Structure 1
Amino acid sequence: MTTLPIDLPFDVEVLAPVGVRVTGLQVADDPAAPVDALRAVLAEHGVAVLPGQQLDDPQFLAFLQAFGPMTFTDGETPLEGFPDLNVISNVGRWDSGTPPKSSFHVDTSYVSHPPAYTALRAVTVPEQGGATQFTNQYAAAESLPAELRARVEGRTITHVVTGLDPETIEGETSAEHPILRPHPVTGREALYLTTAARCAAVSGLEQAEADALVAELLAHSTRPENTLAHAWAPQDLVIWDNACVLHRADHAGVVGDRVMHRGMVASYGR
């Protein structure tokens, strides 16, 4: 992830090991205007951090709708007045007996055509901690040791829904995806995984061997040198491409409330 499209209508700083920081842009001025350029940047760099966005939920929604049709994860609670958005919050969770937790994953990978993009708008930022971490899955694929690449080449992982009764879900609850999956826009190979609990099977392998392989691939993908930790600031907007990054919230050592509004775009075309 080292190249950038030319003639961008905003300024870009490439981050290591994944993502870009976008400045010189206020999404609220014209939510649809930067979308084509951002789509190209995301296909190459995976994550775009847009700081200082004076943005409300209608403008946030308009921005996402300009990318394409929206989708929603089963089991999430819609944001009041905005059925395509939901709230990610730790408020009251520490005292409820169900503290927040997160492992590296891809959103809604248990369907044949997973969401193209996910975005978070910072509503309340904690005093300490609460970063979102992203991995570079292009780099994870490119850096696979030869022996490990030989073991995964041509294999698929069966991704399944967890935490919900499949009987309550309308639509797919399981989908098979290549481990080395071409990006839908760039065609570049990315190591396509999700959290281990949702990786139910690997084609051609017994369960114990499959579980060990998934654990090895996740450890390879989430090495510190392959992971960007985004420390949230007020008015941050972050959007990422689910085909070439894993993500997780780091809840360790969080002090204060952490509230994000979230939306997902279903596909790469309008």
Structure 2
Amino acid sequence: MTATLDERAAACGLSLTPIAPKVGCRIDGIDLAAPTEEQVAVLLDAFGQFGGLLMRGQTLEVEDLVGFSRRLGTLDHAPLTQVGRTAIEGFPEIYLITNLVDKEGKPMGALGNGEAVWHTDMSYLPSPPDASLLYAREVPPTGGNTFLCSMMAAYDSLPDDLKSLAHSLQIKHDATYNSGGYVRQGMEEHSDPRKTTGTFHPAVIRHPETGRPALYLGRRRQSYIEGYELAESEALLDKLWEYATLPENTYEHVWQVNDVLLWDNRITMHRRDSFDPTHTRLMWRTQIQGSGAPKAFAQA
């Protein structure tokens, strides 16, 4: 008889505890600086099932975080920030998410202290990243919480007629703005989303490991449904977004120092609350390269 995921976890010293009804699981008993092969295998299987994983109490150096992240896949290099910086010197795989500034008052990382709206990381690319990871180094006393929502649960929540229609849709994922609302370097602003730079992806995709369907929306701003009049596209997108972030399908993470939160970028969206700029929030982020373009559920 094949062992269950919980049984395999227990056999290698791990315990799995769901953190919300529809998304996320906490894994206890793992040291991400030196996980065993069996533990990594359990982690990867839990990842596909739950969409997001939380590992608390991790004490990681830069090398440890990069080393663990590489066991999940090929790493992207950190993108340029608004001031042209990338990441920790010598470690281009680690992106600084922080409101810290240098002696000249220039940002040392990305996103500052503002809100980041619901989004899927870099879904404007033909092959968006498979996963993203945040490691908390400093956190404010309040605010800066990260929210995850299950796009598999969002798909399941759709009324039958809207679910059927969604399978036929291709949605443009706009590249103009980042999740903090800033214009990306080299991008030109347009008021008409039909004219923006971006990539069309199916509205319903198949998770490559589990085979389950998920709604795939990216982010709301400047989104557009292929072949529709602009007003019709806007109205239909609003309908889809009504179901995308239902409270019962989400998880709110209140950060503690040394938390690691890992999410599957293909089947979740995430956002962040703003926080008091007089407090510091410092996260190290790694990102797993995309393994391929999102595939329509019916085509996979």
Q: TM-score range by the shorter chain?
A: 0.7 to 0.9
C-alpha distance in 1, partners of 2:287/2:77?
7
Q: Does 1:184 align with 2:223?
A: no
C-alpha distance in 1, partners of 2:25/2:47?
9
Q: Which residue of 2 aligns with 1:235?
A: 258
Q: Does 1:115 align with 2:138?
A: no
Q: Does 1:45 align with 2:45?
A: no
Structure 1 position 186, deviation (Å): 1.1
**Which one is further off, 76-85 or 229-238?**
76-85
C-alpha distance in 2, partners of 1:73/1:235?
21
Q: Which residue of 2 aligns with 1:265?
A: 288
Match among 148, 164, 177 for residue 134 of structure 1 = 148
Mark the runs of 5 or more structure 1 residues left unpaired by the alignment. none
SS in 2 for 1:213: helix
Deviations 1:115-149, CA, capped at 9 Å, x for gaps? 11100000101111211000011110011012321
Q: Which residue of 2 aligns with 1:78?
A: 87
**Which one is further off, 6-15 or 24-33?**
24-33
Q: Does 1:15 align with 2:19?
A: yes
C-alpha distance in 2, partners of 1:35/1:166?
39
* Identical amino acids, percent of aligned pairs: 32
- The one-letter code matched in structure 1 to 2:217 is L
Q: RMSD of the TM alignment (CA)? A: 2.7
- The one-letter code matched in structure 1 to 2:272 is A
C-alpha distance in 2, partners of 1:260/1:239?
13
- The one-letter code matched in structure 1 to 2:165 is R
Q: Which residue of 1 aligns with 2:97?
A: 88
Q: Which residue of 2 aligns with 1:211?
A: 234
C-alpha distance in 2, partners of 1:80/1:128?
29
Q: Would you say the 8 A contact 2:121–2:129 is kept in 1?
A: yes
C-alpha distance in 1, partners of 2:259/2:246?
25
SS in 2 for 1:7: helix
Match among 276, 279, 288 for residue 256 of structure 1 = 279
Q: Would you say the 8 A contact 1:117–1:239 is kept in 2?
A: yes
Structure 1 position 228, deviation (Å): 0.3
Q: Which residue of 1 aligns with 2:67?
A: 62
With normalisation by structure 1, the TM-score equals: 0.87
State how many pairs are aligned.
261
Seen in structure 2, the aligned counterparts of structure 1 residues 90 and 31 have a Cα distance that, compared at 3 Å, is: farther
Q: Would you say the 8 A contact 2:147–2:253 is kept in 1?
A: yes
Q: Which residue of 1 aligns with 2:219?
A: 195
Q: Does 1:144 align with 2:158?
A: yes
SS in 1 for 2:115: coil
SS in 1 for 2:236: helix
Structure 1 position 191, deviation (Å): 0.6
Seen in structure 2, the aligned counterparts of structure 1 residues 179 and 233 have a Cα distance that, compared at 3 Å, is: same
- The one-letter code matched in structure 2 to 1:184 is P
SS in 1 for 2:211: coil
C-alpha distance in 2, partners of 1:219/1:91?
35
With normalisation by structure 2, the TM-score equals: 0.79
- The one-letter code matched in structure 1 to 2:184 is L
C-alpha distance in 1, partners of 2:235/2:80?
29
SS in 2 for 1:21: strand
Match among 224, 241, 246 for residue 223 of structure 1 = 246
Q: Which has the larger radius of gyration?
A: 2
SS in 2 for 1:256: coil
